[in-house]
Structure 1
Amino acid sequence: MIAYSTDVSVLDATRLTGFFVGWPAAPTAERHLAALRGSHRVVLALDGDRVVGFVNLISDGVLTGFVPWLEVLPEYQKRGIGAELVRRILAEAGHLYSVDLVCDPDVKPFYDRLGLFELVGMGVRNRAVLTGGPGAGESKGLV
């Protein structure tokens, strides 16, 4: 049975493996942990002691929030865990005026089913930052 928790204080980097499948570069487990700990809110999906999914919210804590990551381990997908994580993070953000996220076109139907609506967004990607490699923090290597 999957349990859900908002307590990231008990996490260590060794419990954050197997995520970011299909990404061009994945953050190190240490960066992943730092991002979760630095988030305004986090919801974890747990199968026993194993972290099988998570979602995080960054926010000013007053009016706006942004959901940068929703991840569920591949072997746990298609079980409703991702939908439950989104429902729970939106409940955590119920006091905010807006909560936005950016997603790839292939997952748009998933968010449509959860009541989110399409917005226009723009962004930059500095992939070297994920791994701490050369170019991290420089303007080249974006996208």
Structure 2
Amino acid sequence: MAIEYKTHAGDITPGMLEGFFAGWPDPPDCETHLRLLQQSSHVVLAVDTEEKRVIGFITAVSDGVLSAYIPLLEVLPELQGRGIGQTLVRRMIEKLGNLYMIDLCCDDGLVPFYEQQGMHRVNGMILRNYDRQSAGQ
């Protein structure tokens, strides 16, 4: 497998985004997924150039001055554990390295992964509107 890392979604099509959001009860469809990639302040994509499909992605939203938030990091389930997620996080942190703070929220089971990427555990608060999880109308 040949992997290319891209910092834009300009040439990505919805058909290249199959298989993400595994385990979500009401996941976004591929068209919505593409929109969220295109409208994020920053994105890094891992693309399998042989199969012409996205195999991983990370997004960030930022004010471009002091702060950024990483809402999503996903690698296709069958390709996890191969360092793709680590590379996506490293590349995103490099892109955002001029900012004061880079934050994210994660489940307890993912804390060790993010600690390995140089991040630190803190308390956080969230509000979830689960009826909007798919971003449908």
Give the structure-1-normalised TM-score: 0.88
Read off the aligned partner of 1:28 and give its amino acid letter. D
**Among the aligned pairs, what percent are the same residue?**
46
Which secondary structure does the structure 2 equivalent of 1:51 belong to?
strand
What is the count of residue pairs matched by the alignment?
Answer: 134
| Deviation of the 1:32 alpha carbon | 1.2
2:22 counterpart residue number: 21
Q: Corresponding residue for 2:42?
A: 41
- Distance in 2 of aligned mates of 1:30 and 1:50: 14
Q: Which runs of 5+ in 1 are unaligned?
A: 137-143
Partner of 2:74: 71
Instruction: Give a deviation string over 1:67-99, Cα, whole Å, max 9, x none.
Output: 000000011110000000000000010111100
The Cα shift of 1:132 comes to: 4.4
Contact 1:43 1:88 in 2 (8 A): yes
Q: Contact between 2:8 and 2:38, CA under 8 Å: does it hold in 1? A: no
Tell me, yes or no, if structure 1 residue 5 matches structure 2 residue 6: yes
Deviation digits for residues 40-87 of structure 1, max 9, x if unmatched?
A: 110000111210000001001111000000000011110000000000
Distance in structure 2 (CA, Å) of the matches to 1:112 and 1:23: 24
| TM-score with structure 2 setting the length | 0.92
Within the candidate set 117, 131, 134, 1:131 is matched to 134
